[in-house]
């Protein structure tokens, strides 16, 4: 039982920060257990010392940290502090990763720029803008419409019907494509229509 409590107190804060960062950044997350544990521990390297400092400030009368955890109320205090720090670190790491990424890209100089934790799909389509797209599977058109929503982890897309929009474009001009996304593994190809150039 003690080992489970220790696991929750030490590992879970880092895991929580990792999940929050993933949700905020919509980044690619490895499902490998080893990667998950290592990434959670990296967050814990920051979280645990910060929580320790907070606890020392809140309870300066405590000399021995082990005796601190003998009291259940103190364990609850530790848990609350851990959750708050985890949430803040998960949010803050979004900006820290961007700073780190910019530094790395400066060091790479003329090499291709990298984007940490983002897929090509996410960078191009998960930006809050309207995307008129055609979805192909093994070169067969599956559907065309407006990309309304997506869930990257499950490879899910939600498209709104856009038959009228496509008819208008084809009536007054021809389809001009802005970019094409190809996933070699799944055989999926997504072509985005360049709405502005189609109107010209």
- Per-position pLDDT tens, the chain of length 200: 456 666 667 788 999 999 898 887 766 666 778 888 888 889 999 999 999 888 888 887 777 777 777 778 888 888 899 999 999 999 999 888 888 888 888 888 777 777 776 666 766 776 767 788 888 888 888 888 888 665 555 566 778 888 877 877 777 767 888 888 888 877 888 888 887 776 55
Residues 7 and 97 in one domain: yes
- Measured CA to CA, the distance from residue 50 to residue 18 in angstroms comes to 16
| Predicted pLDDT at 92 | 93
Contacts of 153 (CB under 8 A, 6+ apart): 29
- The pTM for the full model equals 0.63
Task: Single out the residue of 153, 12, 4, 149 nearest to residue 90, CA to CA.
Answer: 12
Single out the residue in 60, 83, 108 at which a domain terminates: 108
Reported in sequence order, the residue ranges of the chain that DSSP labels E, i.e. its strands, are 132-137, 140-151, 156-161, 177-183, 188-193
Query: Domain for residue 115, yes or no?
Result: no
| Predicted pLDDT at 178 | 86
Residues 76 and 144 in one domain: no
* Range(s) of the domain holding residue 172: 120-199
Residues 8 and 81 in one domain: yes
Residues 48 and 98 in one domain: yes
Residues 129 and 69 in one domain: no
Single out the residue in 108, 138, 173 at which a domain terminates: 108
Query: Domain for residue 103, yes or no?
Result: yes
Residues 58 and 151 in one domain: no
| Predicted pLDDT at 27 | 66
| Predicted pLDDT at 142 | 87
| Predicted pLDDT at 38 | 87
**Burial category of 188 from C-beta neighbours within 10 Å (exposed 0-12, middle 13-18, buried 19 and up):** middle
Number of domains, the chain: 2
Residues 97 and 131 in one domain: no
- Measured CA to CA, the distance from residue 8 to residue 17 in angstroms comes to 13
| Predicted pLDDT at 44 | 92
């Amino acid at each position: 039982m003690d080992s489970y409590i220790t696991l929750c107190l030490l590992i879970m804060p880092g895991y929580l920060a990792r999940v929050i960062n993933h949700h905020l950044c919509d980044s690619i997350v490895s499902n490998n257990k080893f990667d998950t544990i290592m990434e959670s521990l990296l967050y814990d390297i920051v979280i645990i010392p910060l929580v320790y400092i907070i606890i020392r400030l809140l309870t300066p009368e405590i000399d021995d940290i082990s005796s601190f955890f003998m009291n259940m109320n103190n364990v609850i205090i530790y848990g609350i502090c851990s959750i708050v720090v985890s949430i803040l670190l998960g949010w803050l790491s979004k900006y820290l990763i961007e700073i780190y990424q910019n530094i790395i890209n400066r060091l790479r100089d003329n090499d291709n720029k990298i984007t940490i934790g983002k897929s090509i799909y996410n960078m191009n389509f998960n930006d809050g803008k309207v995307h008129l797209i055609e979805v192909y599977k093994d070169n067969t058109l599956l559907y065309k419409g407006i990309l309304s929503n997506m869930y990257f982890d499950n490879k899910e897309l939600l498209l709104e019907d856009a038959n009228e929009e496509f008819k208008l474009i084809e009536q007054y001009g021809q389809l001009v494509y802005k970019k094409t996304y190809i996933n070699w593994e799944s055989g999926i190809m997504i072509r985005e229509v360049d709405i502005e150039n189609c109107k010209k």
